[in-house]
Structures are given as structure tokens and as C-alpha cells.
Amino acid sequence: MKQENKSFGRKLLENDGFQTLLASILCILGGLLVGFIVLLLIEPSGAVSSMGAVIKNFFHYPQALWFKYFGQTLVRTVPLLMCALSVLFAYKVGMFNIGAAGQYVAGACATLYFALGLKMPWIVCILAGMAAGALLGAISGALKTYCNVNVVISGIMLNWIGLYATNTILATVKNPTSPYTLPVASVNPGAVIPSLGLDKLFNEKTVTLAVPLAIIVAVLIWVVLNKTMFGYELKATGNNFNAARYAGMKENRNIILTMVIAGALAGLGAALFYLTGIEDWETTMSAVPGMGFNGIAVAFLGGLDPLGSILAAYFIQHITSGGGGVDLSYYSSQISSLISSLIIFLCAFVGFFKMFILKRIRLSDEKKAEAAKSAKGGAGK
């Protein structure tokens, strides 16, 4: 009886996917609003146009360049999406993979060394990058299962170890006159990922097979998590470690395997980025690149769903690229990282937001039931 009476709006409000979408949109709006307030506080006169630049990204430039800059944004979205997948995959199994940043760095190290030092073809370089990321993930996973070391702490330590090691190793293939590694495209053209005509479509040579490949990987992760027994076992291990163990699942193996896959994803992200030749590695880098940390933002903004992450990754990269267009006489491009970190902070409230909606629905249900009861009682008398 009750269910028939439900209006479309109510059904929508009770739907978990809709709640997630609504929450994500609210997080984005909140982040943008606070970002705008910060701009206003720094200098009111340029705030509107600079905020516009952040939101518009490539639309900020002449129309002839739209596709080119759109292409560049897509190329930079790829590693971000991979890092997000790495974070969310581990999170589904109950681990917070803050080490994605270091796994990404290790991936960049192996990829670039195989491309520039060993002159390998692109496919080998990608596999090397994945293997390096997987290795770092495996260390975190093994430390967790065998030594009970918190994954967050080991991840952070490995981030810094990875950064210093990478800078040292890649210094052997760097440009002698600058801190950057040699350009992949001129040293070893065979290591550049083929573009199959995508470069002509976007009029931007760095748009390669990496873009569609990233989407395929995201779909694959969705299938593994939601449609396979392996994914089910992993999620069960994450939800209740002991229950999974009693059910006969190999919980230790599952945890290490999860971290290996998560690490490989982050490593793949680095490979798909550096093998396009859009950027070279700076060997004097003194802070771990933000890609892995932004991956955390994307994973939560995307509602911890691989497909949602595609949209979220594009959005975060869109505003990050847009940050380059702010009025540099007052502001800095880091305003975009400020907005994305605000978004993660707000994402922490999503659980509370959902509970709030459900509570309101239940309350209004109870009220209605009460009203119906008293109406009936009144008629009976």
C-alpha cells in the first residue's frame, strides 16, 4: 500500500545514487563558493573574472584553441583518473591508499627510465611503470598484513622514499643543462603512445590512445568490483575482515593483492601521462607531486564509483587547468588546489548528509502514518 503512494520525487530522494550525486554537486558548489570568497578577500576587483577563468578553463581562450586545450585537459585527466581508481579500489577493501602519490612517482620513474635509459617500446615502458607502482603497493600491503603497520603511515613514508629515489635515478637520463628529463618524443619516439589519429582530431599531438584506454580501465575496474566473485571477496574482506576469514576467503592474500592492483593503477597513470610527452620529470622536485592526493579528491567526489570518478576526474582537472588563467597580478594558480581540497573536506560530510535525508524521510513517514491513524480513529467514532 505504502509503496504505491510514493511520488516520483520521493523515490528519487531515497535512491542512493541520486543522494550521492546531489551530495557531490553540493560539495562542488561549496568548494567553488569558498574559493570565490578567498579571491574576494585577496582582491575584490579581479575576483569575478578570475573565478570565471577557473570554471571556464579552455572556453576562456579564443575559439580556435578550444579543442587543443580541451585535448590537453583530457591528457592530464588520465593520470588523475588512474590515481582515483587506485584510491577507490583500495578503499573498497578498507584501506586508505594515500600511498597512491608514491606509487605514481615510482611508476613515472620506471616508465621514464625504460623509455629514456633502456630505449624500450611504449608497451614495455607502461608495463614497467605498472610493475613499479605495484611493487610499492605490495610493500604497503605486506607491511599491513604481516607487521600490522597502518597503510596510511607506510604509504606516506614510501611517498618520500620514492620521490628521493626517483629524483636520483632519473638524474641519469636528464637534460644536462636543465633539471628536467630528456624529452621522450625526441630521444625514443617508439616510447610515445600511438595516437591513432586522435592527435589530428584535437589538433594536439599529446592526445593519444591513453585517453580511451583510461576509460576502458575505469569500466574494467567497475566490472571487477561489481560483477565478479573476486571483487565480491575483496569487498567482503573490507567490510568485515573476520567474517570474510570465517567464510574461507584468503584475507591476507586479498589485502596484498588489492594493494598490488591499486599500486599498478597509480603506476599506469604515470606511464599514460609521461609517455605522451606533454611534460618531463623535474629531478629537483622537493615535494611529492599532487596527482596522487588529488586522486583522493576525485575518488570521493565521484562517490567511490569508477564511472563517477571519470566525471569527477574531468571536473577536478578542468578547474586545475583553469587555475592557470587567473589574474596573476593578484592571485596564484594554486587557488584550484584550494578548491579541490575544500571539496574533499566537504565530501567527508556526505555520510552525515545521507543520514540526514533518510532521517527526514522517516520522520515525515511517521507523521503521515500518525495523521492517517488519527483521521481513521476520528471517522470511526
Binding residues for other proteins, per CB under 8 A?
Answer: 38, 42-43, 96, 98, 143, 147-150, 152-154, 156-161, 164-165, 167-168, 286-287, 293, 296-297, 300, 328-332, 334-335, 337-338, 340-342, 344-345, 347-349, 351-352
β-partners of residue 181 are 174
* CB 213, min distance to other proteins, A: 28
CB of 217 to other proteins, least distance (A): 24
Q: Which is nearer to other proteins, 113 or 202 (CB)?
A: 113
How far from 153 is each of 95, 143, 158, 160, 296, CA to CA, in Å?
Answer: 12, 11, 9, 11, 16
Considering the complex, what minimum distance in angstroms separates the CB of residue 162 from other proteins?
9
CA atoms of 215 and 205, how far apart (whole Å)? 19
Shortest distance (Å) from residue 299 CB to other proteins: 10
Q: Of 46 and 129, which has the nearer Cβ to other proteins?
A: 46
Kindly provide the residue ranges of all beta strands, DSSP E only, lying in the chain, ordered along the sequence: none
Looking at beta carbons only, is 156 or 249 nearer to other proteins?
A: 156
In the structure grid, which three cell numbers stand for residue 108, read together? 613515472
323 to each of 17, 43, 77, 340, how far by Cα in Å? 30, 16, 15, 11
Taking the least distance from each CB to other proteins, the nearer of 28 and 198 is 28
Q: Which single residue is written with the C-alpha cell 571487477?
A: 224
Q: How far is the CB of 290 from other proteins (least distance, A)?
A: 8
3-state secondary structure of 282: strand
All cell numbers assigned to 334:
594554486
Q: How far is the CB of 229 from other proteins (least distance, A)?
A: 28
234, three cell numbers: 575483496
Q: Report which of 379, 330, 320, 295 is spatially closest to residue 79, judged by C-alpha positions.
A: 295
**Closer CB to other proteins, 35 or 306, in the complex:** 35
Burial profile 203-231: b = 16 or more Cβ within 10 angstroms, e = fewer? ebbbbbbbbebbeebbeebbebbeeeeeb
Shortest distance (Å) from residue 332 CB to other proteins: 4
Nearer to other proteins by C-beta: 163 or 272? Answer: 163
Q: How far is the CB of 338 from other proteins (least distance, A)?
A: 4
Q: CB-wise, 277 or 302, nearer to other proteins? A: 302
Residue 85: which residues within 8 A CB-CB, separation 6 or more?
217, 218, 221, 265, 295, 299, 306, 309
Residue located via cell numbers 636520483: 168
CB nearer other proteins, residue 151 or residue 272: 151
Q: Which residues have CB under 8 Å from 152's CB, separation 6+?
A: 96, 98
- The grid coordinates of residue 323 equal 587555475
